[in-house]
Amino acid sequence: MMNISEQIAYWQDSAHEDFEVAEQLVASRKIRHGLFFAHLAVEKMLKSCVCRTTQEAPPRIHNLVRLWELTGTPLPEEYRLLLSELNAFNLEGRYPVPFVAEVLPREADDYITRTREVLAWLHSRL
């Protein structure tokens, strides 16, 4: 039988580690990779929320909005928009598309700031 507390801790710890990597990559201007890790950090924190809510392992999906919906709780609109925007970096990191607009360093820094905020908000819900 799965230990839900251990699952939650695993997802949280992994999210914090991935966000540190995201910050380092964006700071060194490896923006595409950094934003991929920002998405991954939020995905893992959301999976910890799903575990808490459902008392089951989270599904193997990457859509941040869908993961949040599985918690069945309200989400501020600004965070929902960020989750939607971050979804693009998951796809871009896995399947680069030549027509996706380049993210400028200042925009990447803003994504990191907003991601840090949403991670803290999600963590406070656990």
Task: Give residue-wise pLDDT tens across range 9-29.
Answer: 999 999 999 999 999 999 999
Reply yes or no on whether the pLDDT at 53 is more than 80: yes
Residue with tokens 């990779």, as numbered in its chain: 33
- The CA-based angle 95-101-106, given to 5 degrees, is 110
Q: How many CB atoms are located within 10 Å of the residue 54 CB?
A: 14
pTM for the structure as a whole:
0.93
Reply yes or no on whether the pLDDT at 41 is more than 80: yes
| CATH 3.40.630.10 for the 4-124 domain, yes or no | no
The pLDDT, as a whole number, for residue 93 is: 54
Q: Amino acid identity of 62?
A: H
